[in-house]
A and B are shown apart, each in its own frame.
Chain A
Amino acid sequence: MSGPLSVRLDPRTKLALLFVWALAVLFSPGLPFEAGMMALAVVFGALCGKMRLSIAMFALYCAAMGIAIALAQVNLGIFSTLFNSFFLLVRKVFPCGLLAAIIVSTTQVNEFMSAFSKMRCPREVTIPFAVMMRYVPAIREDWGYIKDAMRMRGVSPTLGGFLRRPGLTVECLYVPLMMSALNVADELSCASVARGIENPAPRTCHLHIEFGIADAAVAVVAAAVLAAAIVLRGLA
Chain B
Amino acid sequence: MQSGVQKAKRGLGARDLVTTGVCIALYFVFMMVGSMLFAPNPVLTFLMPAGAALLTGPVYLLLVARVPKHGPLIILGVVEAVVMFVTGMYWLWSVFLVVLGIVGDLIAGAGGFRSKPLNIASFLVFSLNPMGSYIMLWLDPTGYSAYLTEKGTEQAYMDTMVATGADWVLPAMIGLTLACALASALVGMRMLRKQFEKAGMTA
A125 touches B79 (CB 8 A): yes
B164 touches A136 (CB 8 A): no
A181 touches B12 (CB 8 A): no
Interface size on B, residues (CB 8 A): 56
A178 touches B196 (CB 8 A): yes
B25 touches A139 (CB 8 A): yes
Chain B residues 33 to 61 lying within 8 A of chain A, measured CB to CB, are 39, 42-46, 58-59
Bound together, the chains give a CA A133 to CA B21 distance in angstroms of 9
The interface residues of chain A lying within 8 Å CB-to-CB of B15 are: 185-186, 189, 193
Which of B44, B91, B165, B195 makes the CB contact (< 8 A) with A26? B91
B25 touches A178 (CB 8 A): no
Q: Is the CB of B78 closer than 8 A to any CB of chain A?
A: yes
Q: Is the CB of A210 closer than 8 A to any CB of chain B?
A: no
A88 touches B148 (CB 8 A): yes
B164 touches A77 (CB 8 A): yes
The interface residues of chain A lying within 8 Å CB-to-CB of B43 are: 79, 82-83
A86 touches B22 (CB 8 A): no
Majority-rule SS of B interface residues: helix
Which of A30, A97, A128 makes the CB contact (< 8 A) with B24? A128
Q: Is the CB of B135 closer than 8 A to any CB of chain A?
A: no
B21 touches A95 (CB 8 A): no
A interface list, Cβ under 8 A from B: 18-19, 21-22, 25-26, 29-31, 75, 77-89, 92-97, 100, 123-125, 127-133, 135-136, 139, 170-171, 174-175, 177-179, 181-182, 184-186, 188-189, 192-193, 197-198, 236
Q: Jot down 12 A-B pairs with beta carbons below 8 A, ordered by A.
A: A81-B165, A87-B42, A93-B87, A127-B17, A127-B18, A131-B21, A175-B195, A178-B191, A179-B195, A181-B25, A182-B19, A189-B17
B interface list, Cβ under 8 A from A: 12-15, 17-26, 28-29, 39, 42-46, 58-59, 62, 66, 71, 75, 78-79, 82, 85-91, 133-134, 137, 147-148, 150, 157, 161-162, 164-165, 187-188, 191, 195-196, 199, 201
